[in-house]
Amino acid sequence: MNKYVKEFCLRGLIFGGFGPIIVGIVYLCISLSTELAVSGTEFFSAIISTYLLAFVHAGASIFPQIESWSIIKSISVHFPTLYIAYTLCYLINTWIPFDWKVVLIYTAIFILVYLAIWVTVFTITKRTTKNLNKRI
């Protein structure tokens, strides 16, 4: 098995459990302010889908670390992987309605946040590398 596939799965398994924990915290916070009526099926669906979301999100962190890939290739694989995982999770749990206008707004926000995070990480990494090179 490819070493990157193994690393993807390992990272996913290690951090995948955070998804259900987050669902529990969200449902707890909601239930403190309003009456929460969630069926067992809805709760089970939320747990499974957030586990898979956390698994994919953690696993996808391997893409930017594949040394033979350019930053463009890394982003072109990383972005759709996260977008599909998040979108499916949000739609399955009806956290956003299945309405093309809402999905379009969600997509625009997702792209903006994704780009902001990438630019921030890229800038910090570049600055850190420059400082380390000065010290050498």
- For residues 29, 35, 40, 45, the Cα torsion angle rounded to the nearest 10 degrees is -50
- d(Cα 42, Cα 100) in Å, to the nearest integer? 23
pLDDT tens-digit series, residues 64-106: 888 899 989 999 999 999 999 999 999 998 889 999 999 999 9
Residue showing tokens 């390992």: 10
Task: Calculate mean pLDDT across residues 111-119.
Answer: 94
pLDDT tens-digit series, residues 13-63: 888 777 778 777 877 777 777 777 777 788 888 888 888 998 899 899 899
- d(Cα 77, Cα 124) in Å, to the nearest integer? 22
- d(Cα 117, Cα 112) in Å, to the nearest integer? 9
Question: What pLDDT, on the 0 to 100 scale, is given for residue 88?
Answer: 95
Question: What pLDDT, on the 0 to 100 scale, is given for residue 115?
Answer: 94
- d(Cα 78, Cα 121) in Å, to the nearest integer? 14
Single pTM value for the model: 0.77
